[in-house]
Amino acid sequence: MKNIALIGLAALALAGCGSKPVQPTWKSNASSSLTAFSDAYLKGDTGIADTEFASARRDMASTGRPDLVAHAELYRCATRAASLEYDNCPGFAAVAQDATAAEHAYAAYLDGRWQGLDAMLLPEQQRAIVQGKAGLATITDPLSQLVAAGVLMKAQRITPADIALATQTASAQGWRRPLLLWLGVSLKRAQAAGDSAEAARIQRRIDLASAPARG
């Protein structure tokens, strides 16, 4: 996901002859805000997440470049997909007219619209998922892995092993929001299978993760 969401943010601006390249303030600010947004969102801190995303979007919009705003919106939609939350990415739709082919391909990927999708326009790891050449475990970045899991879920290509791995990854990162959603998926599967012991175990995890912090 980083490949698509942060294109252009890591590049240094050209500087004068003989001087060290200097990164424009908006780039570092936007990058930091996007990272803070995803961290807060995945932890369940919606208010902080909204503030950080608005800051990142404002910094990127200050360039007058729709492609950068499209990156920010896709980053938000990808983070939501990691938590099994889908909304057809309305923020991206608002700037889609001026988005690149790669951005349109990534939007289709997030939406589970893989038929006719040019996978070569996607970042390598997501490309392999779409093409069926690699499994979820090959994605080492935790957030990218959860995004792929969310997309597989929407595309109805998720496997029990994928669900277990997504749950494990969310738990290891302490990301409460996706953890609760993925545990919910496992709970429904256990209930459908009539496995009351497993369902009770999963429910205890859900109760623990969703309990308010004690002072």
Contact criterion met (CB below 8 Å) for 55 and 29:
yes
Q: Confirm if 165 and 136 have CB atoms less than 8 A apart.
A: yes
Residues 6+ apart with CB under 8 A from 197: none
Q: Is residue 10 very low, low, confident or very high in pLDDT (cuts 50, 70, 90)? A: very low
Q: Where are the alpha helices (DSSP H) in 15-65?
A: 25-43, 46-61
5 close to 34: Cβ distance less than 8 angstroms: yes
Q: Among residues 85, 112, 107, which one has the least CA distance to residue 96?
A: 107
- Token pair of 163 as six digits: 């669900």
Per-residue pLDDT of 32-65, as tens digits, reads: 999 999 999 999 999 999 999 999 999 999 999 9
pLDDT for the residue 4: 44
pLDDT digits (tens, 9 = 90+) for 144-185: 999 999 999 998 899 999 999 999 999 999 999 999 999 999
Question: How confident is the model over 78-94, as a mean pLDDT?
Answer: 91
pLDDT at residue 20, rounded to an integer? 59
